[in-house]
Amino acid sequence: MSIKKMVTLALFTTIALTIFVIESALPPIAPIPGIKLGLANIVTLVVLVHYGSKDAFFVLMLRIILASIFAGQIISFAYSLCGGCLCLLSMCICNKLLHNKYIYVTSIIGAIFHNIGQIIIACVLLQSLSIMVYLPILLISSIITGLFTGLCSHFLSPFFSSKKGLL
């Protein structure tokens, strides 16, 4: 990995971490655990589209570890980890299918699987399946927020292509 790429990925990790910390300080929109804007996915998606899945995995892991140290209890590490890994896996598959285009579709699918992953880990940690009742509401909200973050990534992504020379 070249120095330039390492620094760029570190910058992306910092941006994702900052977005995540600021977003977790916002008041909750609805009294249902798990509904959030998920703006840090914008960075993950841009890194995935421009650098590939391995680098996106590094950025995601670093961001989750650092975020759970800086701005949360240690339990949020498990939630973010499960949701984030499932999200990245689904976005990699979808990205491969769509050849790095139509980013908002990838983002919606990533958001859906992120929330599914968080519900699964909540069911495991609370050892009761009654949490599954929240799934329809979470799916609807994740589709809406996934579309929003997908559009943000879509408009942000051309700035990072190698033609523009920003990176």
Partner 1 sequence: MNIEPIKRRVIFCIAIIVLIFMASLVSLIVFYQSASPGTYAYLYQDGVLIETITLSDITQNYSLKIEGTNGAYNTIEVHDGEIGIVSSSCPDGLCMNMGFIHDDLLPITCLPNKLVIKVVSEESDTANQALDGITY
Binding interface with partner 1 (CB under 8 A): 28, 31-33, 73, 75, 79, 94, 97-99, 101-102, 105, 108-109, 112, 122, 125-128, 130-131, 133-137, 139-140, 143
3-class DSSP state for residue 5?
Answer: helix
Rounded to the nearest whole angstrom, what is the least distance from the CB of residue 28 to partner 1 in the complex? Answer: 6
CB closer to partner 1 out of 6 and 29: 29
CB 122 within 8 A of CB 131: yes
Shortest distance, position 157 Cβ to partner 1, whole Å: 16
Q: Give the whole-angstrom CA distance, residue 157 versus residue 46.
A: 6
Q: Are 114 and 139 in contact (CB under 8 A)?
A: no
| Closer residue to partner 1 in complex, CB, 136/158 | 136
**Residue 9 or 108 having the CB closest to partner 1:** 108
Q: Looking at the chain, list the stretches that DSSP marks H as alpha helix, in order from N- to C-terminal side.
A: 3-24, 40-51, 53-70, 75-98, 103-126, 135-156
Choose between 43 and 111: whose C-beta lies nearer to partner 1.
111
Cβ(127)–Cβ(121) under 8 Å?
no
In whole angstroms, the minimum distance from the beta carbon of 65 to partner 1 comes to: 19
